[in-house]
Structure 1
Amino acid sequence: MDFLQSIFSTAFGYILPFLFVLTIVVFFHELGHFLVARWCGVTVKAFSVGFGRELVGWTDRKGTRWKLSAIPLGGYVKFAGDENEASAPDHQALERMSEEELRGAFQTKSVAKRSAVVAAGPIANFILSIVLFALIFGIMGRAEIAPRVDAVQPGSAAAEAGLQPGDLIVRIDGSPIETFTDLQRLISASADIGLDVTVERNGELLTFPVTPQRREIEDPFGNVQKIGVLGVSRSPSPEDIVERTYGPIEALGEGVKETWFVVERTGGYLAGIIVGRESADQLGGPIRVAQISGQVATLGFAALINLTAILSVSIGLLNLLPIPMLDGGHLLFYAAEAIRGKPLSERIQDYGFRIGIAIVLMLMIFATWNDVMHLSSL
């Protein structure tokens, strides 16, 4: 009985939230490819959420096979002329096609149309994130807390810089700070980076050089993150708390801002790994996503939708990396084709795809290793 309860607990606590989040993100990514492909006159052979053996599916009136496959860790849209799910060209199949079939083949379309089809997947992810964030802001609004310092921790970066309780932080490195959330976000992404913090104190503007300290912070679920910390707490005064509501247009604007914040934060983290400022041990794979999905699901449906929006941005950015096999790699090949006036040789493209597969596999193995090490430390 305990064993069965454990299975059901795992299924409902982790697997179902994970599948919910990933299925939505993958579906909209592939839907972007699909819609623009149809618009560009490309024949779509298959639309799959997941890889491997088909579990359920149907064929629409235009011959596209829609299916849900056994391995729910991605998806693909397969076009006429594709050899596999990665859209590598099937040259033998192209040679056997009739003129009418060739007109619907992905490989016979112009560079501009092929680029539009490929870019549509990540763009769809960004649009999905904007819409989901906008729904959250439009329905729930949010509480905005003024960036006023209530207390300064002894020995912290704020204490060493000279910040005091009652200071209202108005700018950091020239960027306006309107809420305590703005402050937290900027500081957490700036560990060990010197900043100029401008505060309002007794009607006077003062600027202090501050370097946020890198610390390991544990969330309520036991997950540890390495972020920048200033060492101040927010003001609990009622006059410093404003409940904001948003109309449809305002909510959409906030959705755009929130999506851009995730893009900036993710891009900054990846750049930090490259230059050695950030640790790659924060990178996670499907196991970590499943764990976080289950944890966030306990906070409510809105929190799970918020996670879906964040993951959608991450998937969009990941697919834009210039790695063959990913959308960004295809766009890189098409850019070279546009510059040269002809495609890269089949040999170069084949080598590129093989290198891309190796890189993607290494990233998956590394992320999974991080996941396992993370779980073992809990």
Structure 2
Amino acid sequence: MLGVLTFIIIFGLVVVVHEFGHFYFAKRSGILVREFAIGMGPKIFSHRDKDGTLYTIRILPLGGYVRMAGWGDDKVEIKTGTPASLTLNDAGVVTRINLSQKQVDQRSLPMSVLHYDLEDKLTITGLVLDEEKTYSVDHAATIVEEDGTELRIAPLDVQYQNASVAGRLITNFAGPLNNFILGIVIFILLAFVQGGVQDFSTNQIRVTPDGALAQAGVKNDDRILKIGSYKITNWEDLSNAVDKTTANLKEGESIPVEVDSKGQDKTVKVTPQKVKGTFLIGALPGLKTGFWNKISGGFEMAANGAFAIINALRDLITHPNLNKLGGPVAMYQMSNTAAKQGLVQVLNLLAMLSINLGIFNLIPIPALDGGKIVLNILEAIRRKPLKQETETYVTLAGVAIMLVLMVAVTWNDIIRTFF
């Protein structure tokens, strides 16, 4: 249960923060945000602000989404003959179109819709008591969808494609940007939670409980001066010395380790523990504990994580292999493992996944933010947008690629996990 809860929190937080980036800058760019949702599925709570944005909490706690006018597949579609009820103001202008049997206004006008234009001319035409009538629709009118969700209509002037190129560019980039910011904030928090940031420049170490060094009497903040015949001045020296000293070691044999403990040098016999074919002495890098060390260390951990992800992506491109990718199943497994290991590992996983989502979304595949950014840049260079049909085909191709990849990765995760 703890693993499931951890997965929901991690997945939900990285997705909602990502979507909030799109939401905030879309509003700043004059794009109508029709809905900002936390979760998926049927809504359990909703609130509409003065700008017409509907905020919803939905029953499945899995991420969230943002619906921008004219963005992606956000289209208003009313089939010919659809029954609707219209709410009119004193001037006879439609302020609400209800396509649902929910939230019915008893004073509304029933209509069988024939055709409509809710983007340009803002009109709706249909049969009222067997007589064809046309009504003007208010620019800020709402439409109640069949599931009962009430949203603003989306006139052309507030749609995504009619915002400035700069506005669309920052709106598309804001999602990944928010993931990077979240990753940095969580890494800084992690530095404070664990009391500092790892210091690889010194031979001062921490010991893992019940590890080989702890069993030999070595304490936290002791300094390792020598392992075998190898002198130690920093963490890299220590790692290399352990590898070389244990290269031909048999399980149960010990190695000499010279330690500086509170100014007193001593040599202890340490019996490395063999874990998955590798000998470990139970050492961790020392910590920098200053306030600014923790702040700068958070940025450093985020940068190191980002470079590790970029290198992994580069390796994936040069040596494609599905086993190098992970979907929701793999993410759940990581969340479950982190939950068992404690808060530090949960925070580390949350930060890394947030940065990973940000980088992944910047890949220039049309269905991703990176693909949209490329189209924005091309438009800025050409000084005119691509044809709507061309952009639609390119986006659909990207969606197809992502769907195939998602299915393949998820299936591969299931096979690896259960078979």
**TM-score when scaled to structure 2?**
0.62
Distance 1:115 1:327 in 2: 9
Which letter does structure 2 place at the counterpart of 1:94? Answer: E
Alignment of 1:285-304 (within 5 A): 285-304=327-346
Cα deviation per residue 1:120-165 (whole Å; 9 max; x = unaligned)? 01000000000010011123224546687xx9xxxxxxxxxxxx84
Separation (CA, whole Å) in 2 of partners of 1:246 and 1:180? 23
Structure 1 residue 61 displacement after superposition: 2.9
Deviation at residue 362 of structure 1 after TM alignment: 1.4
Deviation at residue 58 of structure 1 after TM alignment: 2.2
Deviates more, 1:36-45 or 1:353-362: 36-45
- Are 1:116 and 2:170 counterparts? yes
Query: For the residues of structure 2 that align with 1:32 and 1:313, how far apart are their CA atoms?
Result: 14
Note closer, same or farther for the CA distance 1:49–1:341 as it changes in structure 2 (3 Å cut): same
User: Matched residues in 2 for 1:142 and 1:245: separation?
Assistant: 7
Aligned match of 1:136: 190
1:18 alignment partner in structure 2: 7
Which residue of 29, 50, 62 maps to 2:39?
A: 50
Q: Render the CA deviation track for 1:83-122: whole Å, top value 9, x for unaligned.
A: 6359xxxxx6533468895443322111111000110010
- Structure with more relative contact order (C-alpha pairs < 8 Å, separation 6 or more): 1
Deviation at 1:183, TM superposition (A): 6.6
Q: Which has the larger radius of gyration?
A: 2
Aligned CA distance change for structure 1 residues 32 and 241 (closer, same or farther; 3 Å) = closer
Aligned residue pairs: how many?
A: 295
Residue 262 (str. 1) matches residue 262 (str. 2): no
The match for 1:242 is 286
Quick one: distance in 1 between partners of 2:318 and 2:60?
Answer: 35
Structure 1: runs of 5+ lacking an equivalent: 1-11, 87-91, 152-163, 171-177, 188-216, 220-228
Residues 37 and 44 in structure 1, CA contact (< 8 A), matched pair in contact too = yes
Matched-pair contact (CA < 8 Å) for 1:49–1:72: yes
Alignment partner of 1:41: what SS?
Answer: coil
What residue identity is the alignment partner of 2:286? V
Q: Is the counterpart of residue 337 in structure 1 residue 362 in structure 2? A: no
Mapped contact 1:122–1:315 kept (Cα < 8 A): yes
| Counterpart residue number, 1:356 | 398
The AA in structure 2 aligned to 1:64 is: T
Aligned twin of 2:356: 314
Q: What one-letter code is carried by the residue in structure 1 that aligns with 2:14?
A: V
- Calculate percent identity across the aligned residue pairs: 31
Q: CA deviation at 1:301?
A: 2.4
Whichever residue aligns with residue 188 of structure 2, its letter is A
User: Structure 1 residues 94-103 or 121-130, which shifts more?
Assistant: 94-103
Gap runs ≥5 in structure 2: 76-116, 123-137, 141-154, 204-211, 213-226, 244-273
**Alpha-carbon deviation of 1:335?**
1.4
Normalized per residue, which structure has more strand?
2
Indicate if the aligned counterparts of 1:128 and 1:312 stay in contact, CA closer than 8 A: yes
Partner SS for 1:303: helix
Which of 69, 89, 94 does residue 80 from structure 1 map onto? Answer: 69
* Per-residue deviation, 1:283: 1.0
Q: Write the deviation string for residues 215-264 of structure 1: whole angstroms up to 9, x where unpaired.
A: xx988xxxxxxxxx9x775685xxx96332131x4323222221121211
Give yes or no for contact 1:319–1:327 (8 Å, CA) kept in 2. Answer: yes
Does 1:36 pair with 2:25?
A: yes
Aligned to 1:156: none
CA pair 96-287 structure 1, distance change in 2 beyond 3 A: farther
Is the Cα contact below 8 Å between 1:283 and 1:370 reproduced in 2?
no
Quote the residue 2:180 is aligned against: 126
Cα distance between partner residues in 2 of 1:332 and 1:35: 21
Q: How many Å separate the matches in 1 of 2:409 and 2:237?
A: 29
Retained in 2: the 8 A contact 1:81–1:94? no
Shift of 1:53: 3.1
Amino acid at match of 1:242: G
Cα displacement string for residues 302-342 of structure 1 (whole angstroms, at most 9, x for unaligned residues)? 32122111110111111111111211111111111112111
**Structure 1 match to 2:295:** 252
